[in-house]
Amino acid sequence: MALPSILTEAEIAAGLQSCQAADSFDCKTFFVKVGLKSKDQADKVFGILDQDRSGFTEEEELKLFLKNFSASARALT
């Protein structure tokens, strides 16, 4: 399952726009901007982000969090 099947392109763009600057990522703001309103949606997104299928989102996966929404997005620090 890919993120566009859960979120619209406009929602993804709004979320990425909210955290373009370094050190500007705020998870609550980002989730509101991309339209994640339910626990079920959030679980699906984190399931996609869990690249190694370990059941956990590790530091390396979190660094690439935004890149899962768009290849041109920045890496988190």
Q: Judge whether 38 is annotated as a binding position.
A: no
CB 37 within 8 A of CB 57: no
Q: Judge whether 60 is annotated as a binding position.
A: no
Name, in order, each residue with C-beta under 8 angstroms of 23's C-beta and a sequence gap of 6 or more.
77
Nearest alpha-carbon partner for 4 in 27, 39, 34:
34
Q: Judge whether 50 is annotated as a binding position.
A: yes
Binding-site members for Ca(2+) are 50, 52, 54, 56, 61
Binding-site members are 50, 52, 54, 56, 61
